[in-house]
Every structure is written in structure tokens, then in C-alpha cells.
Structure 1
């Protein structure tokens, strides 16, 4: 029974050690790639948010311009009467 346990432990270690080493190295590459992709996506999101903020500002300015145009129209109508 003791020999069987020793053989099982040695066999298990022969499988587990290379698996652990492979996992450690592959995860390092995967983590590097994942971090790169996250950084790139973050840049894209920042650009998108910048566009959204600029569009909101443009919409407010356009609304103010149309309001001013309406005021000028009213003034012109009052003057022509």
C-alpha cells in the first residue's frame, strides 16, 4: 500500500508541476493582452464621452441660437406693423 501511495504522489506531481508552470506563464501573457485591450477600450470610451459632451454643448448652443432667432423675428414683426 505504501508503494502505491508513493507512486500515486509521484505521478500526481509529474502532472501537476508542469500544469502549474504552464498556467503561470500563459496567464502572464493573457493578462498582458487583456490589460492592453482594456487600455485600448478605455481610450475609445474616453473619446466617445468627449464627443457626447461636445454634442450636448452644441445642442444647448443651437437651442439658444434658435431662441434668439425667434426673438429677432418677433422684433421685426413688431417693427413692420
Structure 2
């Protein structure tokens, strides 16, 4: 969470977001096994989160590369996309 808030680089912020989603997946699997190991609800939900995170990473990196092509910078504080 700290890395996502304090990061000034867009790629680093996306990487920190992926780490947060992986931590959530570990919690889903652990608590699913801890409370009821016969049901696979947490395991299945973590697979959905992994799939959504992969799509989010692909779209996020595409947006970052488009911003870099236009602005020549991936710094968050330098990219004011509303004032063009």
C-alpha cells in the first residue's frame, strides 16, 4: 500500500497494485482452507482475481506506453492529462 501511495512512476505504481492483489489472493486461499477446506470458494475467487489482475496489468501498461509516447515521461506528478 505504501508503494502505491508514494510511487511517482506509473509502472512502479502498477507493480505495487499487482502486489496488493497477490496479497489478497493469498488471504483468500488461506482463509478458505482454514475455515472450510472442503469448499473451494476462496480458491476459485482467487483465480478470478488473477485473471482480472492480468487484464488490468495489460490495459495499464498499454495506457502507460501511450502516455510515454505522447508526453515522454511516466512520472505521475508530471502528467496532467486534463490540461492539454
Q: Same fold (TM over 0.5)?
A: no
**TM-score, scaled to structure 2:** 0.40
**TM-score, scaled to structure 1:** 0.42
Structure number with the higher helix fraction is 1
